[in-house]
C-alpha cells in the first residue's frame, strides 16, 4: 500500500477525488483517506504544514497503515537559476537546512548523534517518477537533486543564496526532510516530489499565489501516473 502525503488541501484534494471505496479515519487531527487509487491500495493524507506535522503523519502511515512506500507531493521554491517556476524536482536525498548545532562542532544541517547527514530517497520510485513525468507533463523541466527543508518560507535572496551554497539544494520547502527522516528510520522507501511555485527570493510572495495552481496540477498528474504504474 502506498502512502501519499501533501501538506495542504490543494495538494491532495484532486488525488482524493480520484479514489474509490474510500474510508476516512482521523488520527492526530489528520484525515487519512484509505481506498483504491488507479487500481492500487493507497492512503492519502493532508499532513499540515511544517516538519513536525509531516513527521507525525509519516509515523502514523508506518505504524497504523504499514505502508510499503511514501510519496510526498507538494510545491517548493527553486534554489537554482536553471530550475524554473512550473518545473518538477525529484529528490535524491533530503536535508534539514534549519538544523544548527554548529556550536557543538557539527556542520550546518547535521542532526547531532545521528550518522546520517542526509536521508536518501528511493531510486526505483525516482526513476518511475521521472518516466511518468515525461509522459504526463511533457512541457515541464525535470530535475533530480537534493531537497532541503526548514520551518521557514524562504523569500529573501540572501537567505536563499546561503541555503543553496551551504547545502547544494535544488529546492527548499517545509516538510520533505522530516518525511524522509521518519520514513528512513522505519526502513520505508520514500520520494519527495516538488513542483516549483516560486524562486525563493524577493519575488517569492508575488510568484507563489500566481503559480500555485499550475504547480499543483503538475504534481497531481504525476502522482496519478505513478500510482497507476507502481
Query: What are the residue numbers of the active site?
Result: 11, 198
* Nearest to 45, CA basis, from 60, 20, 36: 60
Q: Residue 138: which residues within 8 A CB-CB, separation 6 or more?
A: none
Query: How far separated are the first and last CA of the chain, in Å rounded?
Result: 10
* Nearest to 90, CA basis, from 191, 211, 5, 221: 191
Q: Chain-centre distance of CA 125, in angstroms?
A: 13
Contact status, residue 84 vs residue 215, Cβ threshold 8 Å: no
DSSP secondary structure letter of residue 187: T
What span, in angstroms and rounded, lies between the C-alpha atoms of 18 and 6? Answer: 15
Contact status, residue 194 vs residue 173, Cβ threshold 8 Å: yes
Segment (H or E) for 11: helix 9-17
DSSP secondary structure letter of residue 102: G
Place of cell 521554491: 77
Contact status, residue 154 vs residue 196, Cβ threshold 8 Å: no
What span, in angstroms and rounded, lies between the C-alpha atoms of 193 and 89? Answer: 6
Amino acid at each position: 500500500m502506498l502512502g501519499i502525503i501533501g501538506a495542504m488541501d490543494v495538494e491532495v484534494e484532486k488525488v482524493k477525488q480520484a479514489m474509490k471505496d474510500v474510508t476516512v479515519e482521523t488520527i492526530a487531527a489528520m484525515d487519512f483517506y484509505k481506498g483504491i487509487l488507479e487500481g492500487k491500495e493507497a492512503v492519502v493524507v493532508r499532513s499540515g504544514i511544517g516538519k513536525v506535522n509531516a513527521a507525525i503523519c509519516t509515523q502514523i502511515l508506518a505504524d497504523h497503515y504499514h505502508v510499503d512506500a511514501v510519496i510526498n507531493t507538494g510545491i517548493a521554491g527553486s534554489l537554482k537559476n536553471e530550475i524554473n517556476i512550473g518545473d518538477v524536482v525529484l529528490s535524491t536525498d533530503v536535508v534539514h537546512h534549519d538544523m544548527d548545532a554548529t556550536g557543538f562542532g557539527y556542520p550546518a544541517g547535521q542532526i547531532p548523534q545521528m550518522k546520517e547527514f542526509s536521508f536518501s530517497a528511493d531510486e526505483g520510485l525516482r526513476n518511475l517518477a521521472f518516466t511518468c513525468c515525461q509522459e504526463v507533463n511533457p512541457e515541464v523541466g525535470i530535475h533530480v537533486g537534493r531537497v532541503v527543508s526548514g520551518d521557514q518560507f524562504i523569500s529573501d535572496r540572501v537567505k536563499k543564496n546561503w541555503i543553496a551554497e551551504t547545502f547544494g539544494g535544488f529546492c527548499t520547502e517545509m516538510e520533505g526532510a522530516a518525511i524522509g527522516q521518519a520514513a528512513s528510520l522505519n526502513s520505508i522507501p520514500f520520494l519527495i516530489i516538488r513542483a516549483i511555485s516560486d524562486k525563493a527570493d524577493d519575488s517569492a510572495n508575488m510568484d507563489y499565489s500566481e503559480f500555485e495552481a499550475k504547480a499543483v496540477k503538475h504534481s497531481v498528474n504525476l502522482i496519478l501516473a505513478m500510482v497507476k504504474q507502481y
